[in-house]
Structure 1
Amino acid sequence: MALASAQCLNVDQRLLLLKLRNSLVFDTSKSSKLVCWDGSADSWSGVTCEDGFVVGLDLSEESISGGIDSLSSLFRLKFLRSLNLALNNFNSMAILSGLANLSHLAHLNLSNAGFAGQIPTELSRLTKLRTLDLNNLWELEKPNLRSLIGDLGELRELYLDQVNEFAEGSDWCDWCDALSSSVPKLEVLSMSYCSLFGPINHSLASLANLSVIQLDGNNLSSTVPRFLANFSNLKTLSLADCGLQGEFPHEIFQVQTLRTVDLSSNNLLRGSLPEFPENGSLETLVLSFTNFSGRLPYSIDNLRNLSRIELVNCGFHGNIPSSFTNLSRLSYLDFSLNNFTGPIPSLSKSKNLTRVTLCHNSLTGWIHSTRWEFLSSLLILDLGFNLLEGNIPSSLFTHPSIQELLLSDNRFSGQLNGSFDAPPNMLQKLTLSNNNIGGELPMSIWELRGLYYLSLSSNNFSGSFHINQVQQLRNLSDLDLSYNRFSIDATNIASQAFSFLGLTSLNLASCQLTALPHFLANQSTLSLLDLSHNYIRGNIPRWIWTLELTHLNLSSNLFEGMETHMSNLTTLMYVVDLHSNMLQGKLSNMWLPASYLDLSSNNFNSLIPDDISNNLPYLVFLSLSKNNFYGFIPPSICKVDYLEVLDLSHNHLNGTIPDCLMIESLKVLNLRNNQLNGNIPQNILGTCSLKTLDISENLLQGKIPLSLANCKALEFVNIGDNQIDGTFPCHFMAISCLRVLVLRSNKLHGEIGCPHSHCTWQMLQIIDLSSNDFGGTLPMSLLTSLEAMKANVDSNLLQYQFHDFIGIDDLYYKDTMRATLKGLQLEFVKILTVFTLIDFSSNKLEGQIPDTLKDLKALYVLNLSHNAISGSIPFVLGNMDQLESLDLSRNHLKGTIPAQLANLHFLSLLNLSNNQLVGNIPTSGQFLTFSKSSFEGNLGLCGLLLNKSCSISKNRIEEATDDGDNDDSEKKWFYMGILLGFVVGFWIVCGPLVFMRSWRFAYYRFWDEVLFRLSQL
């Protein structure tokens, strides 16, 4: 801080300073400089003088809010060379043009001072400026950038971060030219978040003295020029969130002077890390959220000054080099969301390390306590979502500095041994969830008095304890003990009158609770309560609804009723999940301001109330499925403005589907398994947002409405098990994102497919048209359009179909369906996005099986049974590598079974029964696992699986294969094959004896020995 003595200031200068102080409006309680100024003072804080004149004035962070006008004594300090008014609050006041009177100014800092509006034109007259800092929310219109800096040829440092250009025809696109032609001596360029656009022009290469380039948050949308590697003084290169693309020039990393590189949040920027030269100066390397990939170079230890490295969500893989142990100045390391494997290297030499984040990788091995115990500054250790295993060292829990220890989602096993209360203990956040840790929960864990967050869920902890044990953690705000094997006693006793003053989240799912913890009634800060999957009986108490909860989960318990109808609720409960209880009664008295309400799988037995839109006005998700609701669907449900998911399935509802139910907001409509009748609503608007429509297992009639094609977002359609009439719904071909189409068990007829359609089903993975009256041949054009069934999907990318909503984690809707798989009717409660099925069974299809099926290499299930399909089984079906179930039974197939089907290594069900197949059943590959029933009803088949010899008469074969056209091609090749096999076999055995002398002598010795042994008998 500058400190001028009274002796170095002449009288006029002191009077000017006092006048300035008296005019300024500032907070004396926050001032450390102005508050000390007075006429008798021996020193003036923030003032620098020379030859009796003020040459420097630093009034930064003085809480100044006003008091400078055009007549201010500030502008009479004619010899000022440095003025700093940064970090004040001038209440959006416009900066005054009087600054231009300070013609000797070399350093001007007005950043974050609360000024607003237009940068005055007069600043361009300060031709001696070497530093200009105007950071934060100015406007640069007149003058524009070129006009502002055009005469500032001596400028060395330019800070224009968050300065916006609004003028039409602005020169922001020519910013490189403006800089290179106006400020040739520039060393620091900082213009982050300035709405710059266009590439980094080659003209910028002329600024050879640049040492700092900070252009974050602009829209450069270009590659990174290689000429940046020619800046021999470059120390900082910060280009985060600039829309960069292409390959990053690796030679820039090798600039010897470079200390900071930040390229984060450029998703299209790719590259790799080069071998680093010795004695590199790099201190900070941030590449997070880019497309950088490859392995980390072993030479990274040449960066001896490296203190911060962030590679979050990139594509790096392989082992983390052991050379990391040599980075003694490392303080911050974050490699999360990559593909690193192998063990964690020792970082014990990095004495100043404060954070290590290696979560969401595939790191393996054990955690060695010796690698962490010497890191006395470590605050955060996050190793979650890896493949680490073994015991967790107890020394981590008693580490002298660790505040956050995050080890969830690994394979840790064993038990937690040792004491948790060895002083000093700094743990504030501990997560061990989703591991395999067993044994009794150590009671000493309640000695971690500093904990505010504790998650031990989804492990194998055993034992029991009373909920009162937890009260020792006075600072606790989040507690998750769900899904273990211990039991928690929450029965009410006198000592249970305590309450957690700051408890906001409590998760005790599957803790064998038999009663509600009564201390909850006193929780004023609790927002999330999950007591699901327990054995709590009785009624849900009245006090539950008086808590300020936003998330309540009491599902999968034994609750039978409620003590109140919730009419006194005043706050919005986002989530109320009461499914899988024994709740009964009516909904007519329920008023609940919730966004998510799940009452499925209970014993409600009533009408759905007519005024449901008044009682549940804020609903986004409503599930009443698997109850005993009856009567009509009330039209008033259409008035719930924000409703996205409506599930009324598996009840006893009747009547018709209200026409208004296809409301604009609705994304999921499930009315499955009721007694609904009438037609499907016909007048569906173009604003339809449906993704899932399940109206299966009802009594619906009529045709599939053409207007359903207006629902362009449809992914799941199930209209099966109704009485729908009509032809194949070609209008569905226009729905490009359709994944599941089920029309089974209706009265549909005509040919399958749309011969005149040019659309393709890019994403369709399940199509079930079984048990209808479809005729004609198998639809080649439709089969060739099933793009999602052609390409194999990486098994590591397996996901389930679901719809998320209202922005809350773990809340989503999963589609379900019933299908025939491997001869059984199965309920799919989760549908994998890679599961594929074609079921055209039980129709009147004829003709041959087309060879185009061979292209469906990702098909899992194919069922063409119970039709009139003829011809032979195409051998190209052996190319369908993923096929698990193939049912061609009860058709008119003839010929032999292709041996290529034995190549289907995943095939677990094969049904070829009741056809006209002939010949030997293959005895290799998967055929060894099939039962006799797979081939019965084919008179011409033979082999071990049927206990039937294949040496049958020619007449029997002809009788079994006669199709009236006297075609002998199959028999010709069968009998010629016998002769050819004999010839080939003879030469395989005898050929070497004829042509190889060594084989003949060995053959002779063999028979000599045989004859000699026979002669000794």
Structure 2
Amino acid sequence: MRNSIISWLLLAISTITIFSNVAMASASTQCLGVDQRLLLLELRYSLVFDTSTSSKLVRWDQSANSWSGVTCKDGLVVGLDLSEESISGGINGISSLIRLEFLQSLNLAFNDFNSMAIPSGLANLSHLAHLNLSNAGFAGQIPMELSRLTKLRSLDLSLVYNSDKGLLKLEKPSLRSLIGDLGELRELYLDGVYVSAKGSEWCDALSSSVPKLEVLSMSYCSLPGPIDPSLMSVSNLSIIQFDGNDLSSTFPSFLANFSSLKTLSLREVGLWGEFPHEIFQIQTLQTLDLSSNELLQGSLPEFPENDSLQTLILSDTNISRKFPDSIGNLRNLSRIELVNCSFHGNIPSSFTNLSRLSYLDFSSNNFIGPIPSLSKSKSLTQIILSFNNLTGPIDSTQWESLLSLLVLDLQFNLLEGNIPSSLFTHPSIEELSLSNNQFSGQFEESFDAPSHMLDTLDLSNNHIGGELPTFIWELRELNFLSLSSNNFSGSFHINVIQQLRYLLELDLSYNHFSIDATNTTSQASSFLDLASLYLASCQLMTLPQFLANQSELNFLDLSNNYIQGDVPRWIWILESLYSLNLSSNFFEDFETPLSNLTPGLGFVDLHTNKLQGNMLPLPLDAYYLDFSRNNINSVIPNDIGNNLTNLGFFSLSKNNFHGFIPQFFCKIPLVVLDLSHNHLNGTIPDCLMKLESLMVLNLRNNQLNGDIPQNFLRTCSLTTLDISENMLLGHIPLSLANCTALEFVNIGDNQIDGTFPCHFTAMSRLRVLVLRSNKLYGEIGCPHSQDTWQMLQIIDLSSNDFGGTLPVSLLASLEAMKANKDFDHLQYQFFDYSFNFYYEDTMSATSKDLQLELIKIWTVFTLIDFSSNRLEGPIPNALGDLKALYVLNLSRNAISGSIPPILGNLYQIESLDLSVNYLNGTIPAQLANLNFLSLLNLSNNQLVGNIPTSGQFLTFSRSSFEGNLGLCGLQLNKSCSITPNRTEEVDVDGNNDDSEKK
């Protein structure tokens, strides 16, 4: 959107220039007759405008020697430019304006007429050739009367798209009614005006009404597509701009027939199909913008010799393949943007021929290889190649070719090697962003301070080591400095940053050096004013005292240090502070009193400290508060929700809070509420289930009792519900099925009774279901349900009273456990909301009788735990299809029959526990091929025969097999002198028909 507004403003500036050329200079008193001066004064006193910002009207008076914005000819006013005069009213009484009957040019652009209608009386200015009412705050229907201005050569009624001003409309009159008699029109600007039209009506209206039109700009007008070929009748068009309409078509190839076309902009119009190669045959074309048409595909053509094209913007399209070497034929190209396309291969060396190139943005593609030398591009000032696969190292010649730039952005690539110090000394380069690469080595200490220095330096997320070079502090004009997440070592005092007198943002986090912040109190009043300071993991031992005087500080991150003592009172009253992160330190309490907190403080993170006080700082405008992992021993205040009207994330997890959960939580627009691992008692407030905003509710490991609330809303937004490890009773509520967005449900370790929750099958996004250690009974599964859990990756029903056979239909529906391609490349599960925070689900799992806490749950981690129930019957072959399964636990049941050889297909499995059942027959040799198997427990069954002596089986101890009287082998120190007869054969493909009957 920023680009579209900039493009529009550039166009608007050119339009205003036309008017200013007509009204070039201020008129003198000798130029104006007395009657004309009186009319101007009458107009001046009828208008409502802001005298503090006016530069023209405010100077008009009877004794004035000049009338700014006025042009006259033969003693008559012929031009009036009152643009940008902050006019807000008085235009309705325009009799004095209308009596300026010889006006040929009127410009009221960029004022604020408070959504009033365009005065129809303007139509009486019959000599008007140029009318500009753009962005003047007019709204409603464009008056039909304007169609009487038959001498108009330029008409500008445009609006900045998404303006908060009232929308102008062309419904009645229609576009045809407005321009039908404007046959002399050369320029028409209707950007942002709602044009009511069907099909090709608007094209027909233009082609039949304005044959002399040269400039047509109708962006964001809600025009329907496609563009009709009838537009070719307007053969003199040199500028066509239709951005942001819904044209929904392939590229209109006939546009290539406009022989005078200089600018074609079809950004974000829904073009699809093949990229139009013929458009580059237009010899006059200077600007082409087809960006944000995601379905436009194909490749770039071989470029012909072209001396006209200056700007090429194809960002956010699906144009791909390799970049043609013939790009070098576009000799006058000055700007090229190909952001987020699918280009691959090398950047052509022919870019060196583009001597007028000034801006290059190829970010978010798949370019590889080295950066070509661009030394011949004398005008090139900005290169953006971030988010590609560029590799290095960059040699000295290539670095040298980049030193004439103002902006160099190579972030998120695979570049490596050393960064030469000459990059910081060159007098032209201002912004340098090399973060997230593989740069290593150390900086050279030799440094000659240039006359013109960097203002932006970002080397974060690399592997650069050694002591932080002292020349960094000689880059006197730096505004932004980020060296975070590298391998810098050594130590220095924080006072050195005062040398960077223009510095606004500093990030030195996550290195290996230590920063001494002692004895800064005396410098506090003279310390430079920062907007952002990030010193996470810098081995700070004390809180820098100069911060107490930082009136401009917005962001402060001192997390992961060794700061002790109390959180000082002054930190809560820094007037501009918005984000505060003091997590992972050793703070013990809050300095009191905690009142009059900075109202703008929105983000506070104090997790993982040693806080134990009772008073919590609760800034009124906070949207994120994290006090988890401390020692706070308190009740949660009953009035906690009184004033926290913006709070979205609130965590008190892993403290010593006790008492009831306050009802006041229900008055807060919470998205995440985490009160887990405390000593809270009482019941879960029913009103929490009526919070439509709530997406994550974690009350795990408390002492809550009573029933689970039964009133989940139909508009429930929950994605995570964890109420495990409490003393909850009753049934799982049927209304929980309303929460169809749920991905994580943990109700384990309570006293819930009832049958398997078949109503959960409506939760198609469910990934984790934990119901272990309750009093659930009956059969597992829902034989009559049509819904499935295709996304389910963890299901733990252990330690209940479930009976019957293993559920074949349920197991067959677990698509995420089958290693399908749609599930192969998922990342950590986390939640990222518009509040710019994330939440990690956690759970515990049992492996080898150990309770494991899974802090981050891989979405490729899969588990089935049905242990400690009363399940019976055979192991179904359907389990063998779950090739992405990591953990399978069926122990402590009454399962019988043989172990299906098809379990040898579980090539990802790491833990297999079938112990304490009634399994018989031999151990399938196919299990020896499970290369990742690290835990195997087949003990206490009725297995017989040889234990396999190959593969992973050689790593398992006696305990994996004991309790099977018929087993023999090395692991049991028992020889196998007799080979038992097999009574049943089961093939590896799982043709065990009996096991599938139930």
| TM tier relative to shorter chain | 0.7 to 0.9
More off after superposition, 403-412 vs 699-708: 699-708
More off after superposition, 506-515 vs 582-591: 582-591
Find the aligned partners of 1:580 and 1:34 in 2 and give their Cα distance.
61
Provide, for residues 599-636 of structure 1, a one-character-per-residue CA deviation record: whole Å limited to 9, x for no partner. 22222223333443348675433322222233x32433
Q: Which residue of 1 aligns with 2:814?
A: 786
Asked if 1:89 corresponds to 2:114, the answer is: no
Give how far 1:228 is off: 2.6
Asked if 1:812 corresponds to 2:838, the answer is: yes
Q: Which residue of 2 aligns with 1:628?
A: 656
1:757 aligns with one of 781, 785, 809: 785
Q: Which residue of 2 aligns with 1:140?
A: 170
Find the aligned partners of 2:929 and 2:942 in 1 and give their Cα distance.
23
Find the aligned partners of 2:944 and 2:233 in 1 and give their Cα distance.
84
Find the aligned partners of 2:370 and 2:565 in 1 and give their Cα distance.
51
Instruction: Please tell me whether the aligned partners of residues 930 and 952 of structure 2 are also in contact (alpha carbons under 8 angstroms).
Output: yes
Find the aligned partners of 1:589 and 1:406 in 2 and give their Cα distance.
37
Find the aligned partners of 1:739 and 1:707 in 2 and give their Cα distance.
19
More off after superposition, 278-287 vs 770-779: 278-287
The structure number with the bigger radius of gyration is 1
Q: Which residue of 1 aligns with 2:144?
A: 121
Give how far 1:407 is off: 1.5
1:886 aligns with one of 909, 912, 916: 912
SS for the counterpart of 1:387 is coil
Task: Quickly say closer, same or farther: Cα 1:53–1:126, change in 2 above 3 A.
Answer: farther
Provide, for residues 136-155 of structure 1, a one-character-per-residue CA deviation record: whole Å limited to 9, x for no partner. 36432342101122233444
2:767 aligns with one of 712, 716, 739: 739
Q: Which residue of 1 aligns with 2:364?
A: 337
Q: Residues 382-401 of structure 1: matches in 2 within 5 Å?
A: 382-401=409-428
Give how far 1:98 is off: 6.0
Instruction: Please tell me whether the aligned partners of residues 23 and 67 of structure 1 are also in contact (alpha carbons under 8 angstroms).
Output: no
Instruction: Please tell me whether the aligned partners of residues 382 and 406 of structure 1 are also in contact (alpha carbons under 8 angstroms).
Output: yes
SS for the counterpart of 2:737 is helix
Task: Quickly say closer, same or farther: Cα 1:177–1:53, change in 2 above 3 A.
Answer: farther
Give how far 1:58 is off: 6.8
Letter in 2 for 1:715: E
Provide, for residues 466-510 of structure 1, a one-character-per-residue CA deviation record: whole Å limited to 9, x for no partner. 111111222222222222111111112574334445312222222
Provide, for residues 511-531 of structure 1, a one-character-per-residue CA deviation record: whole Å limited to 9, x for no partner. 222211111111112222222
Instruction: Please tell me whether the aligned partners of residues 359 and 385 of structure 1 are also in contact (alpha carbons under 8 angstroms).
Output: yes
Asked if 1:844 corresponds to 2:884, the answer is: no
Instruction: Please tell me whether the aligned partners of residues 667 and 690 of structure 1 are also in contact (alpha carbons under 8 angstroms).
Output: yes
Instruction: Please tell me whether the aligned partners of residues 351 and 376 of structure 1 are also in contact (alpha carbons under 8 angstroms).
Output: no
Q: Which residue of 2 aligns with 1:482?
A: 509
More off after superposition, 862-871 vs 483-492: 862-871
Task: Quickly say closer, same or farther: Cα 1:192–1:464, change in 2 above 3 A.
Answer: same
Provide, for residues 828-852 of structure 1, a one-character-per-residue CA deviation record: whole Å limited to 9, x for no partner. 1011223222111222222222222
Find the aligned partners of 1:315 and 1:589 in 2 and give their Cα distance.
49
Q: Which residue of 1 aligns with 2:352?
A: 325
Task: Quickly say closer, same or farther: Cα 1:712–1:915, change in 2 above 3 A.
Answer: same
Letter in 2 for 1:648: L
Find the aligned partners of 2:985 and 2:668 in 1 and give their Cα distance.
70
Give how far 1:660 is off: 3.2
CA RMSD in angstroms comes to 3.8
Instruction: Please tell me whether the aligned partners of residues 22 and 79 of structure 2 are also in contact (alpha carbons under 8 angstroms).
Output: no
Give how far 1:742 is off: 0.4
Task: Quickly say closer, same or farther: Cα 1:33–1:608, change in 2 above 3 A.
Answer: closer
Instruction: Please tell me whether the aligned partners of residues 403 and 423 of structure 2 are also in contact (alpha carbons under 8 angstroms).
Output: no
Task: Quickly say closer, same or farther: Cα 1:612–1:320, change in 2 above 3 A.
Answer: same
Q: Which residue of 2 aligns with 1:1005?
A: none
**Identity fraction in percent:** 70
Find the aligned partners of 2:128 and 2:529 in 1 and give their Cα distance.
54
Give how far 1:900 is off: 4.5
Instruction: Please tell me whether the aligned partners of residues 666 and 687 of structure 2 are also in contact (alpha carbons under 8 angstroms).
Output: no
Q: Which residue of 2 aligns with 1:680?
A: 708
SS for the counterpart of 2:350 is helix
Q: Residues 225-304 of structure 1: matches in 2 within 5 Å?
A: 225-279=252-306, 281-304=308-331
Q: Residues 544-693 of structure 1: matches in 2 within 5 Å?
A: 544-548=571-575, 549-569=577-597, 571-587=599-615, 594-614=622-642, 619-630=647-658, 632-664=659-691, 665-693=693-721
Q: Which residue of 1 aligns with 2:894?
A: 868
Provide, for residues 46-96 of structure 1, a one-character-per-residue CA deviation record: whole Å limited to 9, x for no partner. 7586xx798974737584957897655776665x7x525264637467655
Find the aligned partners of 1:175 and 1:323 in 2 and give their Cα distance.
43
Q: Which residue of 1 aligns with 2:560?
A: 533
Instruction: Please tell me whether the aligned partners of residues 713 and 737 of structure 1 are also in contact (alpha carbons under 8 angstroms).
Output: yes
Find the aligned partners of 2:867 and 2:288 in 1 and give their Cα distance.
62
Give how far 1:943 is off: 6.1
Find the aligned partners of 2:552 and 2:752 in 1 and give their Cα distance.
54
Instruction: Please tell me whether the aligned partners of residues 928 and 953 of structure 2 are also in contact (alpha carbons under 8 angstroms).
Output: yes
Give how far 1:325 is off: 2.5
Letter in 2 for 1:508: L
Provide, for residues 143-172 of structure 1, a one-character-per-residue CA deviation record: whole Å limited to 9, x for no partner. 210112223344443222222347xxx558
Task: Quickly say closer, same or farther: Cα 1:696–1:23, change in 2 above 3 A.
Answer: same
Instruction: Please tell me whether the aligned partners of residues 431 and 454 of structure 2 are also in contact (alpha carbons under 8 angstroms).
Output: yes
Using structure 1 for the length normalisation, give the TM-score.
0.85
Instruction: Please tell me whether the aligned partners of residues 730 and 754 of structure 1 are also in contact (alpha carbons under 8 angstroms).
Output: yes
SS for the counterpart of 1:603 is coil
1:957 aligns with one of 974, 980, 992: 980
Instruction: Please tell me whether the aligned partners of residues 410 and 433 of structure 2 are also in contact (alpha carbons under 8 angstroms).
Output: yes
Task: Quickly say closer, same or farther: Cα 1:250–1:879, change in 2 above 3 A.
Answer: farther
Letter in 2 for 1:227: F
More off after superposition, 254-263 vs 139-148: 254-263
Find the aligned partners of 2:86 and 2:664 in 1 and give their Cα distance.
58
Give how far 1:557 is off: 1.7
Q: Residues 157-168 of structure 1: matches in 2 within 5 Å?
A: 157-165=187-195
Task: Quickly say closer, same or farther: Cα 1:684–1:32, change in 2 above 3 A.
Answer: closer
Give how far 1:293 is off: 2.8
Using structure 2 for the length normalisation, give the TM-score.
0.86
2:735 aligns with one of 690, 696, 707: 707
Find the aligned partners of 2:620 and 2:150 in 1 and give their Cα distance.
69
Find the aligned partners of 2:823 and 2:811 in 1 and give their Cα distance.
24
Q: Which residue of 1 aligns with 2:795?
A: 767
SS for the counterpart of 2:572 is helix
SS for the counterpart of 2:571 is helix
Asked if 1:447 corresponds to 2:474, the answer is: yes
Asked if 1:59 corresponds to 2:81, the answer is: yes
SS for the counterpart of 2:391 is strand
Give how far 1:591 is off: 8.0
Letter in 2 for 1:533: N
Find the aligned partners of 1:698 and 1:45 in 2 and give their Cα distance.
77
Q: Which residue of 1 aligns with 2:451?
A: 424
Find the aligned partners of 1:342 and 1:244 in 2 and give their Cα distance.
32
1:456 aligns with one of 467, 483, 493: 483
Instruction: Please tell me whether the aligned partners of residues 23 and 68 of structure 1 are also in contact (alpha carbons under 8 angstroms).
Output: no
SS for the counterpart of 2:700 is coil
Find the aligned partners of 1:84 and 1:591 in 2 and give their Cα distance.
52
Find the aligned partners of 1:42 and 1:465 in 2 and give their Cα distance.
63
Provide, for residues 792-823 of structure 1, a one-character-per-residue CA deviation record: whole Å limited to 9, x for no partner. 45799542222334623xx3221100012466
Instruction: Please tell me whether the aligned partners of residues 4 and 47 of structure 1 are also in contact (alpha carbons under 8 angstroms).
Output: yes
Find the aligned partners of 1:822 and 1:201 in 2 and give their Cα distance.
71
Give how far 1:718 is off: 0.9
Give how far 1:573 is off: 2.4
Instruction: Please tell me whether the aligned partners of residues 200 and 224 of structure 1 are also in contact (alpha carbons under 8 angstroms).
Output: no
Instruction: Please tell me whether the aligned partners of residues 317 and 339 of structure 1 are also in contact (alpha carbons under 8 angstroms).
Output: yes
Instruction: Please tell me whether the aligned partners of residues 894 and 917 of structure 2 are also in contact (alpha carbons under 8 angstroms).
Output: yes
Instruction: Please tell me whether the aligned partners of residues 245 and 270 of structure 1 are also in contact (alpha carbons under 8 angstroms).
Output: yes
Give how far 1:592 is off: 6.7
Provide, for residues 913-963 of structure 1, a one-character-per-residue CA deviation record: whole Å limited to 9, x for no partner. 44444555556665565556545555555666666666x33xx513xx5xx
